[in-house]
Structure 1
Amino acid sequence: MTGFAAVLARRIGLLIALLAVVFVIVDLLPGNAARAVLGRDASAEQIAAKERELGLDRPLPDRFGEWFGGVLTGDFGTTARGQSVNELLAAKFPQTLLLASIAMLVTVVLALLLGVWWAARPTGFAARALQPGSAFVIAVPEFVVATLLVLVFSLWLDWLPAVTFTDRAGYPAAPDMLILPVLALAIPQAGWNLRVVRGAVADAASAPHVESAVLNGLPERAVLVRHILPFALPTIAMSFATSVGALFGGALVVETIFNYPGMGAMVAGSVSDRDTALVAAVVAVTGATIMVILLAADAIRVRSNRGRA
């Protein structure tokens, strides 16, 4: 088995193990889906009948095996309330993907520009401003950033909306409704990644071939593009790839704060309903997306290492 195939097999195995853990955790929560769906006034006989209908009277490994077998054919099953999980994901996942993708784009642009600036001016204004600033935004959770953004730009300045309204297609009705949720997600990740970019660029800049290029009189921009960034790219790409998972996780919280029409409210409701199939489906879709991004970063690293060899 090649190195890349081994990495792929390991990541798929980790995803399957994570899905199994999700089944166990939801099963250990107090109550179950039958009680959540029927409510407090349901009799013991009604609850027992509903448990049999949902298969909750069967062993957990059997339920997981049946659900996972359906996933392999593209069927995520139905929720405890009888809704198609596939239809729910098709309705909500694109909005979350849109939010996370824009936040990732903002993160990449800010991290590259500020990180390279910091590396090029290690003792100037960039270092004095970005070193404490990036440390601060890294330490602040997304929901705190979101609250501060609402306080400043919605309540004090009245520049941007604090609540998202949707159009007929289920997407935000106006582009400015995306600004605060995107910033709430991107600011902490940009703070982390710009430090990684700064370190990777600084390390690459100290290589002998870079010194030779400078001595040969190449312009600073040409040295950066041709001799520094290609060597710093694997580290930067892996850092950006790991941020994808943080963005998806943060999106579920940020969506709730801004009433954004993504998977946040759906996940909160599924946990409240002890709806294992829906929770696991969200983990499967987001986990598969993150795995693809990580594999792309692995491919960049492998190709870069071969180029150096």
Structure 2
Amino acid sequence: MVVELIAFAGLVARRLGLLIALLASVFVVVDLLPGNAARAVLGRDATPDKIAAKEHELGLDRPLPVRFWDWFRGVATGDFGTTARGQSVNDLLAAKFPQTLLLASIAMALTVVIALLCGLWWAARPTGVAARVLQPGSAFVIAVPEFVVATLLVLVFSLSLDWLPAVTFIDRSGYPTSAQMLILPVAALAIPQAAWNLRVVRGAMLDAATAPHVESATLNGLPERTVLLRHVLPFALPTIATSFATSVGTLFGGALVVETVFNYPGMGALVAGSVSDRDTALVAAVVAMTATTIMAVLLVADAIRVWANRGRR
């Protein structure tokens, strides 16, 4: 177990290093885009003197590594700095990130429930109705991007049936005024991920079912449900947890697109505006928040894998 813990600590260190490298690459990519934050903020009619003064104010006349290091030192203390328009990045993240987190969390919970139930059903009945329905259905859904799913949901449930709202309205708290406004965005995110993960659950369960102890449990006359949940699922859990953790990143990425379709008040508009303004600090802050959340979930999945594999060597 000590060896596994040391390996896990090394994995944490490597992922932190990858996170820092990712943030540095964001600075480089935004810096390579045409124009800069000073020109975007001042507009096309700004004189060269005004642009130069704004560039100096924003620190754009300093070397890129120096700007990144100054920004990173602030992040280490919890300060993401200010945008090119003088707004607090911390305040913007506090206003928008919870909404996206809410959307992604509900979609993830729905994904887990659907994938586990359908995946276990398919694994228990690999040649029955489950296979005839889920195999082609999940393959089709996986091939459809989130924005297409979102558009189809709007066409069916908003425009044709008029059951659910197609746009999101917010109250003073910044959240949707009705829970109904969450249904279509959550569904657009969860449907593709549930389809992918139920196939992973089914495959992991079938692989784990070939273990000798599973055959022994079956020969001993244990009920099928007991064999499935107590002897197969624990061995399939590392693969399933890793798949779910990977879906978190996909959900956050898809959320930025789905939010635009439904006018949802999350990080999508914030990202679009920050890229338009060439606002490196804001883009990097969004990436940092999202990547840190994804990394934390991946570490949880790694911890589950270490726990599930304990004592097997």
TM-score by length of 1: 0.98
2:114 to 110, 117, 121: 110
Matches within 5 A, 1:165-184: 165-184=169-188
1:6 to 10, 21, 29: 10
Q: Distance in 2 between matches of 1:180 and 1:146?
A: 7
Counterpart amino acid of residue 138 in structure 1: I
1:15 to 12, 19, 29: 19
Q: Distance in 1 between matches of 2:203 and 2:308?
A: 18
Report the equivalent of 1:253. 257
Kindly, what percent of the aligned residue pairs are identical?
82
Counterpart amino acid of residue 64 in structure 1: F
User: Which deviates more from structure 2 when the two are superposed, residues 129-138 or residues 293-302?
Assistant: 129-138
Cα offset, 1:6, TM superposition: 0.5
Report the equivalent of 2:58. 54
Q: Please say if 1:31 is aligned against 2:59.
A: no
Report the equivalent of 1:121. 125
1:214-253 CA distances to partner (integer Å, 9 max, x unpaired)?
Answer: 1111111111111011111000000000000000010011
Cα offset, 1:258, TM superposition: 0.4
Report the equivalent of 1:82. 86
Q: Please say if 1:149 is aligned against 2:153.
A: yes
User: Which deviates more from structure 2 when the two are superposed, residues 203-212 or residues 140-149?
Assistant: 203-212
Counterpart amino acid of residue 108 in structure 1: V
Q: Distance in 1 between matches of 2:176 and 2:232?
A: 40
SS in structure 2 at match of 1:40: coil
Cα 1:307/1:102, change in 2 over 3 Å: farther
1:133 to 130, 134, 137: 137
SS in structure 2 at match of 1:306: coil
Q: Distance in 1 between matches of 2:147 and 2:264?
A: 14
Q: Distance in 2 between matches of 1:8 and 1:169?
A: 36
Report the equivalent of 1:218. 222
Report the equivalent of 2:203. 199
Cα offset, 1:132, TM superposition: 1.4
Q: Please say if 1:295 is aligned against 2:293.
A: no
Q: Distance in 2 between matches of 1:215 and 1:2?
A: 39
Q: Distance in 2 between matches of 1:140 and 1:277?
A: 33
Counterpart amino acid of residue 70 in structure 2: E
Cα offset, 1:305, TM superposition: 0.8
TM-score by length of 2: 0.97
The unaligned stretches of length 5 or more in structure 1 are none
SS in structure 1 at match of 2:309: helix
1:83-103 CA distances to partner (integer Å, 9 max, x unpaired)?
Answer: 000000001100000000000
Q: Distance in 2 between matches of 1:248 and 1:74?
A: 22
1:180-207 CA distances to partner (integer Å, 9 max, x unpaired)?
Answer: 0001101111111011000001111121
The unaligned stretches of length 5 or more in structure 2 are none
Which runs of at least 4 in structure 1 moved beyond 6 Å after TM superposition?
none
Cα offset, 1:308, TM superposition: 3.3
SS in structure 2 at match of 1:2: helix
1:40-71 CA distances to partner (integer Å, 9 max, x unpaired)?
Answer: 11111111110010011111111001000100
Cα offset, 1:136, TM superposition: 1.2
Report the equivalent of 2:247. 243
Report the equivalent of 2:191. 187
1:162 to 166, 188, 194: 166
Q: Distance in 1 between matches of 2:73 and 2:193?
A: 36
Cα offset, 1:129, TM superposition: 1.4
SS in structure 2 at match of 1:308: coil
Q: Distance in 1 between matches of 2:197 and 2:187?
A: 15
Q: Distance in 2 between matches of 1:136 and 1:71?
A: 42
Cα offset, 1:307, TM superposition: 4.3
